[in-house]
Amino acid sequence: MTRQLVARLLHAIAVCAVVATSVFVLLQFAPGDPFATALDGADVPPSVRAEGRARYGFDLPPGERFARWTGALVRGELGYSASRHRAVADVVGDALPRTLLLVGVALVLGFAAGVGIALVQTRHHRRWQDRLFGVLTLGGVAMPEFLVALLAMTWLGARWRLFPVAGIGSLGDAAAWPVWERIVDLLWHLALPAGALALAVASRVARHQRAALLGVMREDYIRTARAKGLGEWNVIVRHALPNAIGPVIALLGLALPSLVGGAVLIERIFGWPGMGLTLFDALLARDYPLILAAVLLATLLAVVARTVTEAVAEFVVPRRAREP
């Protein structure tokens, strides 16, 4: 167990190192630097830009800059964000919890809804409920998240005014409100972005979970369960689901990176000030330290999530399968 843990940790560190290096190299090939746009206007003399570059070390050769950055990283320093005029660690410290909230809620909602849909489909296999959800989840898989987000924003937000279209909280002196009112306000703002993300998760989970359930429903022990006189719901939930949910949990871990990627778009659309929006703004501003920190964090998140889901899935797979 300990050996496995150490191996996974080393693996995670290696992945992060590779990602950090690649992103740094790729950024070298991208045109521009923080001073290409930061000092707007054609009348800024080139000497001013050059002075800025020299002050922040952008005139150094790439190799040396990489060495400086990694050196700082090892010491736990993420650097200074020129576009936000704050330490990168502070920017990330504000943004990360918001993204974790968004992605976490979407993941839990989407997983629960997806499994629920698959259970209904299995219970009513080949009847209209199965077909209806089959079409809906196919749509959910096929439709890009930004389209779902824009549709939700247009109809639920702008037309029917059920939810706010953007932001993380209502205007006003939020600090003076009672705690539960602040929580309700936060959830109310969370509804559309988390819902749009959850829809994609639910569709994928439902399609995989349904296939896994139908496979298990052909097993002999399902017939035994029915021969006991158990009701069909009991047969499905008690006997089929525990044997069919392992692969879907593993899938969730693999899907997490794409969920984080989806979160970038969703945060941008709904103005949700999390890591995605931060990364997006940082890219436009060529805020290298912030870009690198954001990408590195996303990588770390994906690696941790995959390790955790692998461990969970291993725990949940049929015991028979673990026998040598």
Partner 1 sequence: MNPPLLSVERLQIDAEGARGAAPTPILRGVSFVVQPGETVGVLGASGSGKTSLALSLLGLLPPALTARGRVLFEGHELLAASRGARRALRGRRLSIVFQEPLTALNPRMRVGVQVAEMACAHGERDARRAMQGAVDMLGRVGLAEAEVRAQRYPHELSGGERQRVLLAMALLLDPALLIADEPTSALDVTVQAQVLQLLHAQQRERGMALLLVSHDLGVIATSCERTIVLHDGLVVEDVPTHQFLSAPEHAQARALVDAVRPAVRSA
Choose between 203 and 243: whose C-beta lies nearer to partner 1: 243
Q: Which residues contact 255 (CB under 8 A, 6 or more apart)?
A: 201, 204
Q: Please give the size of the binding site for partner 1, defined by CB under 8 A.
A: 22
Beta carbon of residue 165, minimum distance to partner 1 (angstroms, whole number): 46
Mark 199-228 with x for binding to partner 1 (rule: CB under 8 A) and - for no binding.
Answer: --------------------xxx-xxxxxx
Q: How far is the CB of 315 from partner 1 (least distance, A)?
A: 11
Q: Does 324 bind partner 1 (CB under 8 A)?
A: no
Question: What does the DSSP 8-state code read for residue 174?
Answer: G
Cross-strand pairs, 81: 86
Residues shown for the chain: 324
225 vs 277, beta carbon nearer partner 1: 225
Nearer Cβ to partner 1 (225/295): 225
Least distance (Å) between residue 207 CB and partner 1: 22
At 86 the three-state DSSP class reads strand
Q: Give the contact letters, 224-263, x = binds to partner 1 (CB under 8 A), - = no.
A: xxxxxxxx--x---xx--xx--------------------
| Residue 87, φ and ψ in degrees, nearest 5 | -65, 140
CB nearer to partner 1: give 28 or 224: 224
Largest CA distance in the chain: 86
Is-contact 101 93, C-beta < 8 A?
A: no
CB of 311: closest distance to partner 1 in angstroms?
17
Of 4 and 224, which CB lies nearer to partner 1 in the complex structure? 224
Q: Distance between CA 265 and CA 255 in Å, rounded?
A: 16
Buried b (16+ CB within 10 A) or exposed e, 32-58: ebbbeeeeeeeeeeeeebeebbeebeb
Closest to partner 1 by CB, 142 vs 321, is 321
CB-nearer residue toward partner 1: 8 or 123: 123
- Stretch 304-323: interaction string toward partner 1, x if CB under 8 A: --------------xxxx-x
User: Contact positions toward partner 1, by CB under 8 A?
Assistant: 219-221, 223-231, 234, 238-239, 242-243, 318-321, 323
